[in-house]
Amino acid sequence: MSERKDWPLWEVFLRSKQGLDHKHCGSLHAPDGQLALQLARDVYTRRQEGVSIWVVRADQIIASDPAEKAAFFDPMQDKIYRHPTFYELPDEVNHL
């Protein structure tokens, strides 16, 4: 039986409507970007789910390591003063 010789994997990002961010919605295999885009349209926007599509080769994405999650994100954990709720203000101005 013939093999497809592993077309690269593409990650698909969709802007659901004008004014919103692109959001990851899935992935697919395609030999090139153009075809990836067309396949993404056929697979992920059959019911008008999107007005714009990005496709990115999965092997081009640099990702943080899940095993390093604790150490990697740790520096942010004790900086509660970065949140507005850290500051207790008098009632008169507490809507700030």
Partner 1 sequence: MYTQSLDIPSPAEGVPDPTALPLDELARSAAFNERAGSGEIVEAKDWMPPAYRKTLIRQISQHAHSEIVGMLPEGNWVTRAPSLKRKTILLAKIQDEGGHGLYLYAAAETLGVSRDELQAALHSGKAKYSSIFNYPTLTWADIGVVGWLVDGAAIINQVPLCRCSYGPYARAMVRICREESFHQRQGFDSLLAMMQGTPAQRAMVQDAVNRWWWPVLMMFGPHDKDSQNSELSTKWGIKRISNDDLRQQFVDAAMAQSEVLGVSFPDPHLQWNAARGHYDFGPIDWAEFWNVVNGHGPCNRERLQARVAAWEEGEWVRAAASAYAAKHPAPARAAA
CB half-sphere exposure, 21, CA atoms < 13 A = 3
Total number of residues binding partner 1 (CB under 8 A)?
29
CA angle in degrees (0–180, nearest 5) for 54-58-74 = 100
Which residue in 17, 34, 74, 89 binds partner 1 (CB under 8 A)? 34
Q: How far is the CB of 76 from partner 1 (least distance, A)?
A: 20
Q: What is the enclosing helix (H) or strand (E) of 10?
A: strand 9-15
Q: How far is the CB of 71 from partner 1 (least distance, A)?
A: 15
Q: Any contact of residue 79 with partner 1 (CB under 8 A)? A: no
CB half-sphere exposure, 93, CA atoms < 13 A = 4
Which residue in 46, 79, 82, 95 binds partner 1 (CB under 8 A)? 46
Rounded CA-CA distance 80/68 in Å is 22
Which residues of the shown chain bind partner 1 in the complex (CB under 8 A)?
Answer: 1-7, 9, 25-35, 42-43, 46-47, 52, 54, 63, 65-67
